[in-house]
Structures are given as C-alpha cells and as structure tokens.
Structure 1
C-alpha cells in the first residue's frame, strides 16, 4: 500500500502535468490571438483612411452644392488642411509623411502584439514561437497589399500601385520577424541540447522557406530596378514555393497556422483567377496596332476597351506575338479607341518597339486586364495643374484632353499643362494632342527640354514613309524605368505644327505659387504630377506649402515612377 509521500508525489506530478497542459493551451490561444490582434490593428489603420477619405468626399460634395457657403464646415476644413499640409510632404526613405506615420503605427502595433501576453517561463522558446505567428500574420498582410483587385481601391481611393510601398515595408518586416524567429529558436534549442530537432522534416522545410524569403528580398534590392521582369517572375515563383513550404512547416490543422496559410494562398489565387478571366474575356476579337515613334516610343491602339477605362488609369497589356507569358502595366491616354504610348527600355518594351519598327502599322492579337488606378474627377476643379517629366506625359496628356471633352463649351475650368522632356523630338509623341491643347483658350501649355534637338528642327514631323524606314534606338535605361512600365502610355501621330520648348527645367515653385495667388478663396485647385523622383519631390513640397487654412482648396495627385 503506497505511503502518504508516494501519493503526494504522484498528486504533485499529476497537478504539474495538468498545469503544463493548461499553460500550453493558454500559450497556443495567446499566439492565435496575436494574429487576430495584428489583423485588427491593420484593419484599424485602414478604417482610419476609409473614414478620412469618405468624410472629405462628403464635406466637398456638400460645400460644392452650397457654392462654398457652408460656414459650419470651415473649422473641420481648416483642420484637414493643416493635417494634409503635413502628410503629403516627402520624407527621407518614405514617399510622404503620411506613409511614414502608417509605418510607425504598423511598427508600434507589431511590437506591442509580439510582447503582449507572453509566457516568460522559457523566454527564448516561447518568444520564438510568437515571432513565428507574427511572421504568418505579416505574410498575410504582404499578400493582401499585393492584390491587384483590392477592396481598398474603392474604400480609400488607394489602388494597388499606391499601396506597393507598404507592401515592400511589410515584406521587409516579414523577413526580419522570420530571421528573429529562426535565430531565437536555434539559440533555445542549443541551450537545452535539442539541436537535433532541426533535422526533422517540418523544420527542414521551414528553414528552406526562410532562405527563400531572404533570396526574394535580395532580388528585390539588387535586381528589381535593373531587370524588373526577371525580378517579377522569380518573385511570384518564390512566393508560391514559400507558401507551400510554410504550410508544410506547420501542417497540424489543430494548431491553425496552416489554416491561415491556406487563406493567404486562396486570396492570392483568387486575384490571379480574376485577372486571368478578365484577360481572356478581352482577348476575343481584340487586336493591337503598333506604330513606332521617335526616341524609342511605340503607339499601341487596341480594338476593344473596357467600359470603365478612363484616361489616367492603367491596364495590363498582353501581346502574345511579342511575349506570350508576360503582361505589363501602361497608362491609358484615350479610350475611344484605347490608346497607349510605350517608351522602350528593355525586356517587353524593347521587343514591342522592335516589332513596331520592323513592321509599322502591323496588327497583333492582344488583350488587356484592367483598368486599375483611382484618379479624381478633374472636371470638378476650377484650376488644374498638370506636371509631367518625360514619359509621364502619358498620364497628363490624356487627363488634359479628357477634361476638355468633358467641359465642352464650359469656361469653369482652366488648365496649366507643364511637360519637360530630354530631347525636343519626344514632343512628337503627343503632337496632335498638343495642338488640341494649344488651340484651347482654357489651356496654357508650358514645354521644356533639358537637351538640344538631335535634328535640324525642334520637332520633326514624320511621314509614313519616314516611319517605315526609321530605326530608332531606345533611350538609355534609368534606375526607375524597369520598375514602372506603367509610366509610359498614350497615342501620337504626325502633325504639321512645330513646337519650340524652352531650354532647361520649369520652375515648379513659381508656377504653382502664381496660380494659387491668383485663385479665389472658393476656387478648387488640383495639382497632378507624373515623373521622376526629383520632380515629384519638388511638386509635393510646393503643394504642401500652399495648403493654407484660408484660401483656395488644393489637392495633390501623384503618379510616382518606380512603384
């Protein structure tokens, strides 16, 4: 018969076992909750943007209907103007102060959730596990921010390309949390003499997934700007493999991590299916006509256009006769018919231009996926300032022409059109549109060239025979060109007008200051810009300085190169 000591020992062991089991269940629940809290925090940040966006729309709509006489809105309008004058400013390492604040909120939420309700009885092991869950949560956020068909496009007016900077930040954070998860787990295993566990199958696939994440980041840093197409293909392939390996790393459905991985993979797959079906639909009876342009430009005119397409948005162009397995984003300049102008850099754009030079006017089977992007209704503004650098005019030209056609005989809106090019010959890309703009009393056209003409005339008008015999080398690659082929797009054809651009670069500060100074308090001014980083930085700065508590309403819309 067992004595009292034996019974007490057995009871204590049983109680300890029960306590450990309860502690394990509690840790599992807290880890699962950490991903829910992470998701809630991210949704909370998104809700702030959603409320801010729709509140501003409601205010502006009401104020327009009252012709600016809604006096009770003056205080909230003043508050939002002060906030916006800060948020749109460029900061080092960030597109804007607003992006920096989002990052700070994201970072604070991630750190807080990582250390909330942690079991510190075995700090290395349990912290490593929590970081594993945070990594899964980050993987979900990275995937959500990469979706082309994102609900945020409607809810916040931020389309996928404007969320790309946050997608990259979340990606870097994912890799950091993964590295911490692996190294701390390794340290814990070494401390208790369990290093052999890293040879288990589920651990091996996790290690491989980690190295592939590091490879993906390395490609993003080293290859993305130089060879975007190589980066993109490898990025997608690595993502698919990583998702599979992470699922195999934690395959137990009772622990629920694999369920999250399945949801993440399903989101990405659904987005791909939607895009593929749309491309398939617009491929029936659709063709693209190619025409070569000076300095590596190619005009693409498609037979079919999506009904929701408007100038300034963009679509993914697929021409299997050029590259069967690739589609690339380009800005829409005109929709009837759908027209794009593509500048040749390398990869698809280089091959597209070569096909146009080899056989000008040829028609190839084509399709599109889109449109994507959100732009304001520029016809609702009294003063529109359009600023473009180089091929960024593919964005501003289409908007300017679209505004004129919407306004008709109305004199309520004036347009300042500013375009800077390297070589004056590039102006011929949009010669017909420039003629229409200069002929309109509503438009002031300012053209600038940073280099002298490479021909006798400032702008040479080509005949069809000249185009057939042309052999134009593409311009040298820039550090941003491979990353945003969307930057290039719009129609062009010959014109008899010769334009003489001013030498040098425009003084954006003086131009915007003069426009704002001459504006009435009830005017609505919008500045839309597309071009290289330096031009966008200058535009952000001067618009931010001109957003004042009293005076005209000023909006900024930037299509940044390099997303």
Structure 2
C-alpha cells in the first residue's frame, strides 16, 4: 500500500487491530487540551497522526467499536424482560391449575355420580362426524322431558368485558392474528406479535448501522467497517439460537424450535451485513485506492481481503442452501453443508480480522459444546427398534422399549434412557441404512405417551417409544427408511437406532392443564403431537384410578385426516381408552373425500358452548399444515377480541 497517502494507509491498518479498549494513536490529552483552549486541528504533514482526516477516521472507527459494545447489553435487557414475563406466566398457570384442582376436590361426591353424563363422545352438532357414535348423548335425549329444547342455542350471548380490560383483549387479539401469506411468493407470515418483535430487532440494527454516521464518501470506509462489526457482534446470537441445548429455554421457556424463526432472521441479517461490508470495501477501492495505482487483483488477493471474501462466500452459501425450496428438496445436503460451512466461516473470520476473534471464539464454543458435548455424548442413546409399514403403505411406525434409568443424574442433561415428557421430540439416526445416515439426524415428534413419573409396586418405569413417520418424496431419509422396510421379508424390520434428545417445551401442556376446556386440533400426522398431550391430561393417577372422572376440565380433540387409512394410525382400543377417560373426540370425514372441514367454526362452537357465561377459560393447541394453523389461530384471535378467555399454542409441524 505504498502508493496510498500515509494518513489513509495508517487508518486502514488501525481498523484491522483496533478494539473498544484501543486508545487513539496520538497524545489524546494534549490534543483535547488544545481543542478545549479554542485551538484548531493539529496539522503537520510530516506526522499523519496529526492529519485531521486521519483523526476523523480513527475517532469514527473507535466510536463504532465502543458503541457496538452496548448492543449485547440491549439484547441482555430484552432477554431479562422475557425471562420475567415467562416466570410470571408460569406462576399464573400454576395458580390456575391449582384452582381447577381445588374445584375438582370439592365436587368429588357429585362428580362420580354424573361421570356418565359429564363426558360425551362428541358435542358437535355436525351430523355423522362423531367417532364412535355418541351413545351417551343418545341416552341424554332419551331421558330428557318434553320441556327440554330440541336443539341447544347455536350461538350464546355475546360476552362483554369491563371497559378497563377491553383494550387488553383488543391488543391481545391483534397480536395473536396471523396475516395471509405473501402473494406470488406464498411466504407464510408469523403472528403480528412475532413480526413486530422481528421488526423491532431489525430497527435496532439499522439504528446501530446509522447512528453518528456522516453521509460523505470519506466515511464510506467507516460505514463498511461498522457493517462488519455488526456482522460479528450478531454471530454469538446466531449460534445460540441455532443450538439445541442453550440457556434461553430455561430462562424464557422457548425451546430452540420456537426460536427458529428468529435464528433465520438473524442469519439473513448477518449475511446482508457481510455483503454490505464487502460492497463498502470494494467502493473504497474503486473511489480511493484505484486512483492511487492499487489494482483490483492486488486488492482482492490481499491476505485480509481474501480471507474476508472466503468467509463471505461461506455464509452466503449457508443462506442460499437454507432457503425452504432447497432445504425441502435436499435436506441431507442442507444439513451437511450447514455444519461444514459454519466451521469454515468461523475459521476464515478468525484470521480475517483481529476484532472478530472474541465473537468467533464464543460462537465456536457454543457450536462445539452443543454438537459434541451434548448432542453426541450427554443426550445420545442407542436402542434396538422395530419398523412396521402401516395400512396406507406410505407411513411407518418405528417402535422401541426399554427400562427407564431412574438412578442416572440429570443435572447436566437428560437423555432418552431417562424417559421424556409429553410433546417432546428427538433427532434420530439409523446407521444400518448407510454410512451417511449414521452421521445424519432427523427430527420427529414422539408419538407415544410419556413414561409415568411415579413407580408402581416398587418396580421401575418402562418406556414404550414410537414414532409416526410419513414417507416423503425421493430422495430423503424417510423414503430410504420406507424402502428398507419394504425390502425386509418380515412384516416388522429389526434395526438399531441412535436417539438425540429429548427436546421441546412444556408450555402446551401447562396451558392445557390450566384451562377449564382443553382443545387439541390435529391435522394429519399432527396427531403425534396431540396424542401424548391427551394421554397426560386424561390418564388416571396410579393412586386414584377415578381421578380423571372427577376432573372439571373438558378435553376435546378434532382430528382431520386425509384418507381413511390414516384413521388407523391410532389403534381403536387406544382411542377407546382415551374416550373412557373422558375425551370428547371428533374425527371429520377424510379431506380426500369430503374436502377440508371448517376447523375454525368447530373451535368457535366448542369454546362458546363451554363458555356460556363468559367465565370459562379455554386452552387450544394446534399442530398441522400452515392453512389449518392460521385458521385456528385467527379464530382464537376473533374470540379474544370478543372478550373470551382463550389461549392458543401452535406446535411445530415439520422443520
């Protein structure tokens, strides 16, 4: 860089090593005293450190370094707010659950006598949709006198809340609403609450990009430099949100899959910041260095620039291979590239810029601890399993069982040998398929009920584990698994599996247990989410087999299937067992024959018939395709707008 002016050359070199604690490369106290006395700039052509242009660039560079230190403090403040919010909500849900339990305890004598009337097979007025037929309802009609109305009121009186609480319900409804997908690209949007949070975070980063940034060409280098700093400052957040094992779940209750939408937005922003950093540096070369004899080849093949360009390519490739169109078609390639390119990008960044090393070190530590310590060691377990093809010839049932290890400590992590909780999921690897499947892991919701938390007759607990796997189009893990099962001469195929988990949040179960009416909506294989929750809600206590019949909580299930064969995913005896325990179930005709049902209308009817006086609280959990989720969520938002006590939780359907 001999051809560049001394002040510019020194400014560029200074930017490569400067940190937030770096002092200005001149006698700062003499300079400040001179300016305080009313003097002008110290100009000395023989000393570039006293050149005003050099001073301005150095001061701007140092300000960016120190200013960006506050970014993580802001994020910690936001995390603290969500932590307080989460634990306050936990306390509220716990009190509601105790209130329901105390109501149950006080009604023991009358509840047992009325148990046959309290639980009907289906309360829907839609003819022909109850499965099995509603014999209890028929008994009620038979015993009714002539003064009883033939049909209940289809729409109870509108509920109105006090003026004080009305703004709260309006705001909650607006935040819960999920807009339509973006036209043309058909991009699914989240709720308004999530969108506003994402926009607030983007606005925060724009503020850090532009605050005290003069709009002049000389400061283009400073802008490009700040884009690079924002990129590396966001790296720990990016890797933390991607980690399956991280402290955010403990603090806020949000598991990694709930945070995935934020992980993707952070990934998109850091890729944009890296690209702007590169464009800014190219503009500096074109506008300044090129005129001083600094060729493009010399600029690109400079060691610092070349390493930065390699890091940029690595992260841009991560972005493009993470797009939904690529991820769904080549999921295994996406997984492999994600790991290789992340490590490569961090290595290139480490050598690219001295300032990046603390952030790169933290990010790499998060990545390695999550992958190696937790996922491949503490949370990993191996089990023999069986694989069976179900009646539709496209769905697999993978099953295994083992004695639950109640002696092993779960201070650091809990793996599958110690059981799991309702609605949790795992990552599965099947080395017997091929070498590549031995190192790949794929997420699935656990279909079977969680092992009970108590032991009976002094015996240990036993885990009955199963996964419901819908084979997708070729190529892919599920299709390979289906092909492996079809090639077996026996109806059930023996294989060995490695499980990484369990993972997930208990928020859905907490919400349902704290509601007087628990409503679960399952679309297709979303029943894998609903069934364990139903079992946890309705299973009688080992010490009190009649406990579920005394409960004042209504439990309802709407299951929407695509074909008749899918109905067999849950054996008849298992569904009958849940109904005997009090489940009110509605299985609509297959969508392949009758089209999509009005899921929102069914939810609205169930909520209103159980909340005639406006005092009941309904909890809704939905798992299924995006269209079903949006319909149910917006129906709940409408009910909240009208003052109903409704809470809704969406469980992840696919990754």
TM bin (shorter chain): 0.7 to 0.9
Shift of 1:77: 7.1
Partners of 1:413 and 1:442 within 8 A in 2: no
- Cα distance between partner residues in 2 of 1:316 and 1:191: 51
Q: Which residue of 1 is the match for residue 264 of structure 2?
A: 168
- Cα distance between partner residues in 1 of 2:275 and 2:516: 53
Deviation track 1:143-202 (CA, whole Å, cap 9, x = no partner) reads 121111122222222211111111111111111111111111111111112443332112
- Kindly indicate whether residue 378 of structure 2 is the aligned counterpart of residue 278 of structure 1: yes
- Cα distance between partner residues in 1 of 2:619 and 2:605: 14
Selected match of 1:426 from 532, 542, 566 = 566
Partners of 1:42 and 1:106 within 8 A in 2: no
Q: Greater relative contact order (Cα 8 A, min sep 6): structure 1 or 2?
A: 2
Partners of 1:279 and 1:367 within 8 A in 2: no
- Kindly indicate whether residue 559 of structure 2 is the aligned counterpart of residue 416 of structure 1: no
Shift of 1:64: 5.4
- Specify every segment of 5 or more residues in structure 1 that has no aligned partner in the other structure, as ranges: 1-8, 453-502
What SS is found at the alignment partner of 1:366?
A: strand
Alignment CA distance shift 1:78-1:436 (3 Å)? farther
- Cα distance between partner residues in 2 of 1:279 and 1:67: 35
- Cα distance between partner residues in 2 of 1:350 and 1:342: 10
Shift of 1:348: 1.5
Q: Which residue of 2 is the match for residue 399 of structure 1?
A: 533
Larger deviation: 352-361 or 339-348?
352-361
- Kindly indicate whether residue 337 of structure 2 is the aligned counterpart of residue 337 of structure 1: no
- Kindly indicate whether residue 626 of structure 2 is the aligned counterpart of residue 533 of structure 1: yes
> Whose radius of gyration is greater, 1 or 2?
2
Alignment CA distance shift 1:66-1:386 (3 Å)? closer
Selected match of 1:59 from 64, 78, 92 = 92
Q: Which residue of 2 is the match for residue 110 of structure 1?
A: 205
- Cα distance between partner residues in 1 of 2:521 and 2:100: 28
Q: TM-score, normalised by structure 2?
A: 0.70
Partners of 1:536 and 1:560 within 8 A in 2: no
Shift of 1:104: 1.1
Shift of 1:278: 2.8
Deviation track 1:422-478 (CA, whole Å, cap 9, x = no partner) reads 1111111112432323444432332330124xxxxxxxxxxxxxxxxxxxxxxxxxx
Alignment CA distance shift 1:427-1:29 (3 Å)? same
- Cα distance between partner residues in 2 of 1:67 and 1:385: 16
Selected match of 2:396 from 295, 298, 306 = 298
Selected match of 1:314 from 405, 421, 425 = 425
Q: Which residue of 2 is the match for residue 373 of structure 1?
A: 504
Deviation track 1:350-404 (CA, whole Å, cap 9, x = no partner) reads 2222333324333322221111111333333221111111111111122112221
- Kindly indicate whether residue 218 of structure 2 is the aligned counterpart of residue 126 of structure 1: no
What SS is found at the alignment partner of 1:320?
A: coil
Q: Which residue of 1 is the match for residue 192 of structure 2?
A: 97
- Cα distance between partner residues in 2 of 1:390 and 1:68: 33
- Cα distance between partner residues in 1 of 2:51 and 2:422: 65
Deviation track 1:216-236 (CA, whole Å, cap 9, x = no partner) reads 222222411222222121122
Shift of 1:324: 1.2
Q: How does 1:37-48 map to 2 (within 5 A)?
A: 37-48=70-81
Q: How does 1:134-149 map to 2 (within 5 A)?
A: 134-149=230-245
Shift of 1:319: 2.2
Larger deviation: 526-535 or 9-18?
9-18
Q: Which residue of 2 is the match for residue 49 of structure 1?
A: 82
- Specify every segment of 5 or more residues in structure 2 that has no aligned partner in the other structure, as ranges: 1-40, 103-161, 182-187, 403-415, 451-462, 541-546
- Cα distance between partner residues in 1 of 2:625 and 2:590: 15
Selected match of 2:652 from 521, 539, 560 = 560
- Kindly indicate whether residue 485 of structure 2 is the aligned counterpart of residue 356 of structure 1: yes
Q: TM-score, normalised by structure 1?
A: 0.81
- Cα distance between partner residues in 2 of 1:398 and 1:63: 22
Partners of 2:101 and 2:551 within 8 A in 1: no
Partners of 2:555 and 2:582 within 8 A in 1: no
Q: Which residue of 2 is the match for residue 247 of structure 1?
A: 350
Q: Which residue of 2 is the match for residue 88 of structure 1?
A: 176
What SS is found at the alignment partner of 2:623?
A: strand
Selected match of 2:439 from 325, 332, 349 = 325
Partners of 1:34 and 1:134 within 8 A in 2: no
Q: Which residue of 1 is the match for residue 305 of structure 2?
A: 203
Partners of 2:548 and 2:582 within 8 A in 1: no
Partners of 2:447 and 2:466 within 8 A in 1: yes
Shift of 1:561: 2.8
Count of matched residue positions in the alignment of Structure 1 and Structure 2: 495
- Cα distance between partner residues in 1 of 2:444 and 2:397: 11
What SS is found at the alignment partner of 2:552?
A: coil
Partners of 2:97 and 2:515 within 8 A in 1: no
Q: Which residue of 2 is the match for residue 458 of structure 1?
A: none
Shift of 1:11: 7.7
What SS is found at the alignment partner of 1:409?
A: helix
Shift of 1:279: 4.6
What SS is found at the alignment partner of 1:324?
A: helix
Selected match of 1:519 from 603, 610, 621 = 610
RMSD of aligned Cα (Å)? 2.9
Shift of 1:328: 1.1
Deviation track 1:258-281 (CA, whole Å, cap 9, x = no partner) reads 22111111111111121111354x
Larger deviation: 402-411 or 526-535?
402-411
Q: Which residue of 2 is the match for residue 178 of structure 1?
A: 274
Shift of 1:548: 4.5
